[in-house]
Amino acid sequence: MILVLAIAAFHETGTRAATVVLVLYAVKLGAPPAMVGVLASMFSLCPMLFAVQAGKLADRFGARWLIISACAIASAGMSAAYFAPGLPAFFIAAALIGLQSANCNVSLQNLVGQLSNAGNRTRNFSNYSLAGATSNLIGPLVAGYSIDHFGYEMSCVCVALMSLATLLITAIWRRLLPGGTRHDGATAGSIMETLAAPGVKRMLANSSLFNTSSNLYLFYMPVYMESIGLSASTIGIVLAVNAAAAMVVRLVLPRLISRFKEDKILAYAFYCGAAGLVLIPFFEGAVILGIISFVFGLSMGVCGPIVTMLMYTSSIKGRSGEGLGLKVTVNHFTKVVSPIVFGALGSAFGLSPMFWINAVMMGAGGTLSRARK
């Protein structure tokens, strides 16, 4: 598990840093909110198209070469943003970072499930989410400080090196990772069989609401803070506070799950996140925005591991990678559509409606979680 957590930490750090760097770079070059929305959707295009196939490949052949190849592609994408700075290169880099995310996330989540049993599954998924939260803390800080001290071009190089670090770790210790089932018949079957498994459809709905809200926050919170005159370093700190909250709550999440039902915890986490989103447009001070970011981070820190764990346990035996890939596909379909819609709203009415509509979606997720028996 230690190797899986290390790979996850390096991968997520690079992904989060890339998101902040490319979005702020686009804003610096004068891209309007609608164009930023299209850029945001590019991060989700490849996961939407290829996550299920990545899950099937992980089930059959294991995660090793999927992760290695994805990191090489992502590093090439960020190098393109360095050598040919401009919106076309940013779109290419965002698409390739998204492809890396699809392959790595599905493979790593499936590895956590494979290396777990009923007695330690909750702890392992919490630790995996904690590694992601740590990366969410480090990634924006790396992006913000590298932009302020080295400029946008060298920030692209830093992100490319993070992907290469993930590649090297996986390549050196690849034999410690379990393989797939090769040509085992357990991996065969229709995607409709996976959808028909008990609890899968409801968890897909919860997961898409959670991930859409979380990513819209990460894309448009920096845009909002830049619009009110905050520096890149301050933006990175506020986003890091969000990740720190997720780290804190994931430390105690196994104990919370042992005392309360997952449905109840999930519902109140959604409601907590909705409240934070409603408040954002009413404040411009860095301190109060940091507090709101912390509250929203508590919510996100709870939703992620619970949804992933329940999706893994709901999937058909031997096809958990496919089930997790389906979750990623549905999540990113909403992420492709929602940034474009929200970006159009931002261009027409300003940033505030995006946060409020996002809050309504979080409230819907809470209601859906409470309704689950």
Confidence of residue 288 (pLDDT cuts 50, 70, 90): very high
| DSSP element (H, E) containing 119 | none
Rounded alpha-carbon distances, angstroms, from residue 38 to 165, 250, 336, 343, 355 = 29, 32, 8, 8, 17
Q: What is the DSSP letter of 316?
A: P
Q: Are 63 and 177 in contact (CB under 8 A)?
A: yes
Residues 6+ apart with CB under 8 A from 167: 67, 68, 71, 72, 75
Cα-to-chain-centroid distance, residue 286:
24
The mean of the pLDDT values for the chain is 82
* pLDDT score at 188: 55
For the chain, domain boundaries: 2-177+192-371
For residues 230 and 187, the model is more confident at 230
- What are 247's two structure tokens? 């780290």
- What are 273's two structure tokens? 């996140």
Measured distance CA(326)–CA(97) in Å, rounded: 19
Cα-to-chain-centroid distance, residue 8:
12
Kindly report the backbone phi and psi dihedral angles of residue 362, in degrees, each rounded to the nearest multiple of 5, phi listed first. Answer: -65, -40
Neighbours of 158 (CB within 10 A): 20
* pLDDT score at 189: 59
Neighbours of 28 (CB within 10 A): 12
Q: What is the DSSP letter of 281?
A: G
* pLDDT score at 31: 81
Measured distance CA(337)–CA(37) in Å, rounded: 9
Closest to 110 (Cα-Cα) out of 75, 64, 169: 64
Residues 6+ apart with CB under 8 A from 54: 66, 102, 103, 106, 107, 321, 325, 328
Burial level of 90, CB count in 10 A (0-12/13-18/19+)?
buried
Measured distance CA(145)–CA(157) in Å, rounded: 14
Tens digit of each residue's pLDDT (9 = 90 or more) over 108-118: 888 888 787 77
Cα-to-chain-centroid distance, residue 267:
20
Q: Are 31 and 88 in contact (CB under 8 A)?
A: no
Measured distance CA(277)–CA(85) in Å, rounded: 33
Measured distance CA(132)–CA(137) in Å, rounded: 9
Neighbours of 9 (CB within 10 A): 20
Q: Are 122 and 265 in contact (CB under 8 A)?
A: no
Tens digit of each residue's pLDDT (9 = 90 or more) over 173-204: 878 777 665 545 455 556 777 676 666 777 88
Measured distance CA(320)–CA(315) in Å, rounded: 5
Tens digit of each residue's pLDDT (9 = 90 or more) over 239-251: 888 878 888 888 8
Q: In CATH, what class is 2-177+192-371?
A: mainly alpha
Q: Check whether 342 has a pLDDT greater than 80.
A: no
* pLDDT score at 111: 84
- What are 167's two structure tokens? 């590649």
| DSSP element (H, E) containing 67 | helix 64-83
Kindly report the backbone phi and psi dihedral angles of residue 137, in degrees, each rounded to the nearest multiple of 5, phi listed first. Answer: -75, -45
Residue whose structure tokens are 């770790």: 169
Tens digit of each residue's pLDDT (9 = 90 or more) over 75-91: 988 988 888 888 888 99
E strand residue ranges, 220-292: none
* pLDDT score at 291: 92
